[in-house]
Amino acid sequence: MNEWKTYFENLLNVKSDASEDNEPIPPASEDLPIHQGTITAEEVEQAVKQLKDGKSPGLDYAITPEALKYGGKWIIN
């Protein structure tokens, strides 16, 4: 039983020298455009069209992709 315990204790607790050799990440060479304005209904409509059917809405929301896609303009607004 001690062999199992030792095996699993050492499985992911391997010492690595990788953190000592890492160089800092240089800053980006250009600023990426970030839209900070109001989200339009057209943008929401385009995003909804790209949703895949049959996907789970997640634990915090109960709206399925199908409900958004086929709910019409009322749901988007």
Query: What does the pLDDT read at residue 20?
Result: 62
Q: What is the pLDDT along the chain (77 residues), one digit of tens a residue?
A: 889 888 888 888 877 666 666 778 888 778 777 878 888 888 888 988 898 888 887 776 778 888 888 888 888 77
Whether residue 50 lies inside any domain: the answer is yes
Whether residue 10 lies inside any domain: the answer is no
For residues 48 and 69, the answer to whether their CB atoms sit within 8 Å is: yes
Query: What does the pLDDT read at residue 73?
Result: 82
Query: What does the pLDDT read at residue 17?
Result: 66
Query: What does the pLDDT read at residue 19?
Result: 60
Whether residue 2 lies inside any domain: the answer is no
Parent domain of 58: 38-77
Whether residue 15 lies inside any domain: the answer is no
pTM confidence score: 0.47
User: Domain total for the chain?
Assistant: 1
Find all residues with CB under 8 Å of 53, minimum gap 6, and list them.
65, 66, 69
Find all residues with CB under 8 Å of 75, minimum gap 6, and list them.
67, 68
Whether residue 32 lies inside any domain: the answer is no
